[in-house]
Amino acid sequence: MKSTLLTLFSVLVLLTSCKCKKASSDETTAPMMTNVEASTLPTNVETNTKEQIGTLLEYSANTRGYHLRIKWDGAQLAFTNQRDSEEFTKITLTNAQSDELKGLIKNLPLDKLASLKAPTEKRQYDGAPHADMRVVVDGKEYNSAGFDHGFPPAEIEKLVKKLVSYTEQK
């Protein structure tokens, strides 16, 4: 009688503990799937679509005591002087200013952007901030070779100086 009672009790405990694990497993899985579907996927889709359709330009210049990051998406320019910050100061450009930037980008040698030679090497000894530029046109990304902020390669000089001038006016 004792062994039957002990066996019955063991089976009852085993069945009860299995249901608890299954219920808690289902509860933790369901919210995770909802979070992934609701927040992550649409954000990534919007970002990728925007970069594939239009023109995106990013310029950054860094040294130990200086930081400048500029973004232009074809309509609006934004910049920050704070390292690792996503808070940008927005500048609304006129249609003429946007068209001028589009024209300058259109005239860039995008396929040669990565191999452009910098006219100076001051960034190697902290004489100037290290700068680089990324251009996305119709979904294709082009990255420049590093150069000194204030002394870009001649082929991109007009564009870089124009971008930086908008941040200095603010």
76 with 90: CB under 8 angstroms?
yes
State which residues form the domain around 131: 54-169
Structural tokens at position 55: 């023109």
Percentage of the chain lying above the pLDDT 70 cut: 76
Check whether residue 26 and residue 62 sit in a common domain: no
Q: Are residues 72 and 127 in the same domain?
A: yes
pTM of the model: 0.66
Reported as type and span, the H/E element at residue 32 is helix 2-35
Residue 60: is its pLDDT beyond 60? yes
Sign of CA dihedral 118, 121, 127, 131: positive
Domain final residue pick, 52, 69, 88 = 52
Same domain, 44 and 89: no
Q: Is the pLDDT at 47 greater than 90, yes or no?
A: no
Mean pLDDT computed over 34-57? 45
Residues 4 and 28 in one domain: yes
Note whether 39 and 101 are within 8 A (CB): no
Overall domain count for the chain: 2
Q: Which of 21-30, 46-55, 72-81, 117-126 has the lowest mean pLDDT?
A: 21-30
